[in-house]
């Protein structure tokens, strides 16, 4: 049962299994484990990023395609549902229309970029995606009548998802069942489903061909695989799943804006998480996202405490001043790449017998 759900791709390392279980249980029970809007926001962000990063890894880690357009697809999903809800009012129909429209636009863009440029050398492909993504981001900021420009758009979601909504008066485990809780579980279960779907894709005959193409596309062609077709399909799949991640994020935040959805910072976050978690393994997206987003949100708090504790030693206190959190995040990144060049998951798995790599 579990084996089928995980598509036969078990974690193959005790420590990794333990970490995955901790993340899964933590995310599943987050509304009951933590209090406060911020913590729940962190949990929801982790859910969305697991999907977003895993869909990027489908391209980078599995197929060997370097693309910088991934946030564009994420943004299309977020804007699609956000603008639909903004324009059509808070209904499920608007969510459906926005999502379907966004998926269609992403598919067309992925196909066009893919067919135009998957035949060219990888470096040109990366540059084309970068150009298209930048153009798109500028466009979203410029068309301010439609998109809300730099400020973005806030919008109302259907009633059942609004924070003020109460499903019933009683509490469960000391927590009211409000619209926020319902939205959280919508995000959580959607993310879980998408994650399991990607796990299946990478362990399907198709996923195996993607890895073959990454390893040696010339040979894959000689075996009879038309690599353009496979690359284009992988590109479209990654784009569609990133779009859905954007939809989930917009529903959670009830806001869309260029900074949160389209900026290059999101793209660098995705890249960092893929590298930290481990390329070419969807489990890396889980571990990487959890660690990275926790660090991004709590490193400052942690450092404030450390800084206060060391107030006797001005140099150390200064070094751990909360304003330097970005520096420390950078240091953590460099260290993790140095010690785990194959990512955390890659590192944990190499200790297991080589058998499983077939």
Partner 1 sequence: MIGATAPFMVSKSNHVAKAFPMTTEHPVLSTHGVSIRFGGHIAVNNVSCEFRPGILTAIVGPNGAGKTTYFNLMSGQLSPTSGTVRLYGEDVTRLGAPQRTKRGIGRAFQLTNLFPNLTVLENVRLTVQSRAGLGLNMISMWASHVELIEKAEHFLHVTALGESRHELASALSHGDKRKLEIAILLALEPDIFMFDEPTAGMSVDEVPVVLDLIHHIKAQGDKTILLVEHKMDVVRSLADRIVVLHNGYLVADGDPAEVMASPIVQEAYLGTGMAEHV
Least distance in Å: CB of 75 to partner 1?
Answer: 26
Output 119 or 175, the one with its CB closest to partner 1: 119
Least distance in Å: CB of 266 to partner 1?
Answer: 27
Q: Which helix (H) or strand (E) holds 168?
A: strand 166-172
Least distance in Å: CB of 278 to partner 1?
Answer: 14
Output 107 or 295, the one with its CB closest to partner 1: 107
Distance CA 338, CA 215 (A): 23
Output 43 or 213, the one with its CB closest to partner 1: 213
Least distance in Å: CB of 80 to partner 1?
Answer: 24
Output 151 or 215, the one with its CB closest to partner 1: 215
Least distance in Å: CB of 358 to partner 1?
Answer: 4
Distance CA 29, CA 172 (A): 12
Retrieve residue 251's tokens.
């529903």
To the nearest 10°, report the CA torsion of 163, 168, 173, 178. Answer: -10
Output 121 or 357, the one with its CB closest to partner 1: 357
Least distance in Å: CB of 210 to partner 1?
Answer: 10
Least distance in Å: CB of 59 to partner 1?
Answer: 15
Burial of 187 from C-beta contacts in 10 A (0-12 / 13-18 / 19+): buried
Pairing relationship of beta strands 153-154 and 166-172 according to DSSP bridges: unpaired
Output 150 or 221, the one with its CB closest to partner 1: 221
Output 175 or 208, the one with its CB closest to partner 1: 208
Residues of this chain that interact with partner 1 (CB under 8 A) are 4, 7-8, 200-201, 203-209, 211-212, 215-216, 218-227, 229-230, 233, 354-355, 357-358
Output 3 or 121, the one with its CB closest to partner 1: 3
Least distance in Å: CB of 109 to partner 1?
Answer: 21
């Amino acid at each position: 049962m579990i084996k089928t759900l995980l598509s036969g791709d078990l974690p193959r390392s005790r420590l990794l299994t333990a970490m995955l279980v901790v993340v899964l249980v933590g995310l599943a029970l987050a509304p009951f484990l933590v209090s406060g809007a911020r913590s729940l926001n962190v949990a929801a962000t982790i859910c969305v990023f697991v999907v977003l990063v895993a869909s990027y890894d489908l391209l980078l880690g599995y197929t060997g395609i370097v693309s910088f357009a991934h946030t564009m697809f994420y943004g299309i999903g977020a804007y699609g549902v956000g603008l639909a809800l903004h324009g059509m009012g808070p209904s499920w129909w608007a969510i459906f229309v926005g999502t379907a429209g966004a998926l269609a636009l992403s598919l067309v863009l992925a196909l066009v970029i893919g067919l135009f440029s998957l035949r060219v050398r990888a470096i040109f492909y990366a540059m084309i995606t970068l150009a298209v993504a930048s153009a798109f981001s500028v466009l979203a900021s410029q068309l301010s009548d439609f998109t809300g420009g730099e400020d973005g758009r806030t919008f109302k979601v259907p009633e059942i998802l609004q924070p003020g909504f109460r499903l019933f008066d009683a509490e469960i485990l000391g927590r009211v069942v409000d619209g926020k809780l319902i939205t959280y579980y919508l995000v959580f279960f959607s993310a879980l489903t998408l994650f399991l779907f990607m796990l299946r894709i990478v362990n399907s005959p198709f996923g195996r061909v993607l890895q073959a193409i990454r390893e040696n596309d010339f040979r894959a062609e000689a075996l009879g695989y038309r690599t353009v077709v496979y690359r284009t399909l992988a590109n479209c799949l990654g784009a569609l799943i990133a779009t859905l991640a954007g939809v989930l994020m917009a529903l959670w935040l009830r806001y869309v804006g260029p900074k949160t959805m389209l900026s290059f910072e999101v793209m660098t976050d995705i890249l960092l998480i893929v590298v930290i978690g481990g390329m070419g393994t969807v489990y890396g997206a889980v571990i990487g996202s959890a660690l990275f987003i926790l660090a991004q949100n709590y490193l400052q708090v942690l450092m404030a405490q450390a800084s206060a504790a060391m107030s006797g030693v001005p140099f150390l206190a200064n070094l751990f001043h909360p304003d330097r959190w970005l520096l420390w995040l950078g240091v953590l990144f460099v260290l993790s790449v140095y010690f785990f060049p194959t990512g955390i998951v890659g590192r944990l798995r190499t200790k297991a017998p080589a058998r499983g790599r077939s």
